[in-house]
Amino acid sequence: MKPTFLIGFMGSGKTTIAQLLADDFVDLDTVIVDKIGMSISDFFETFGEAKFRELETETLKNLSKTNQIISTGGGIVMSEENRRFLKDADVNVIYLEGDFDELYERILADKENIRPVAMSHTREALFDIYQHRVDLYDSIATHKIHVTGKTPEEIVKEIQL
Ligand code: S3P
């Protein structure tokens, strides 16, 4: 199987689905956290978002050489370099597409993941970011699965690689 990247907005279930698809899945954010030795929100606070995006690009490029199922952070599509890389590589890119209302509820309910991009914006501002990103996810996806109202098991069944 080709390397398979899961993309989508925060709260769309990328890590959960990757976990169900393969025991040896890799979560890009976890690789970054292991590398930097601090949480993503602490890193944002100390070094800023731009530095995080640099690390994200570097990690993305390294991972695509080795691993089969990779969940990415919701902002991976913000960089043109990342989009070009994923589009040109011979990989599957699965976009987990969800309605904003549901994603927002999940982000708020998730006490384990402190997401600096969500924390630093109002609901309205986050909706603008969502709308902007939706087109970017679409532009690089090889597969698209609508996730709203579905269980992780239902979503996995729909993923045909
Ligand atoms: C981000 C999403 C997060 C993480 C970072 C930035 C974003 O990942 O990479 O906090 O810009 O959307 P999840 O999509 O897994 O929450």
Domain with residue 12: its CATH number is 3.40.50.300
Q: Is the pLDDT of residue 82 over 90?
A: yes
- Quick check: is 161 in a domain? no
Using the predicted structure, report yes or no on whether residue 42 has a pLDDT greater than 80: yes
Residue 34 is assigned to a structural domain of this protein: yes
Residue type, 97: E
User: Considering the domain boundaries, does residue 148 fall inside one?
Assistant: yes
| Residue 98 in this model has a pLDDT that exceeds 90 | yes
Q: Is the pLDDT of residue 73 over 70?
A: yes
In-domain check, residue 68: yes
Domain of residue 75 covers: 4-153
What is the rounded distance in angstroms from the CA atom of residue 58 to the CA atom of residue 157? Answer: 32
Atom of ligand 1 nearest to the CA of 9: 14
Evaluate if residue 30 carries a pLDDT over 80: yes
Confidence of residue 1 (pLDDT cuts 50, 70, 90): confident
Q: Which of 39, 54, 113, 117 to mutate to test the pocket of ligand 1 (most atoms within 8 A of CB)?
A: 117
* Structure token digits, residue 109: 């309910």
- The reply to whether 119 falls in a domain is yes
In a domain, 160, yes or no: no
31 lines ligand 1 (CB under 6 A): no
Percent of the chain past pLDDT 90, that is, above it, reads: 91
Checking if the pLDDT of 139 tops 80, the result is: yes
HEC profile of the chain: CCCEEEECCCCCCHHHHHHHHCCCCEEHHHHHHHHHCCCHHHHHHHHCHHHHHHHHHHHHHHHHHHCCEEECCCCHHHCHHHHHHHHHCCCEEEEEECCHHHHHHHHHHCCCCCCHHHHCCCHHHHHHHHHHHHHHHHHHCCEEEECCCCCHHHHHHHCCC
117 lines ligand 1 (CB under 6 A): yes
Closest by alpha carbon to 94, among 10, 17, 150?
17
- Domain assignment present for 64: yes
Ligand 1 centroid to Cα of residue 115, in Å, is 6
| 69 in a structural domain | yes
Total domains in the chain come to 1
- In whole numbers, what is the pLDDT of the chain averaged over residues? 95
pLDDT of residue 67: 67
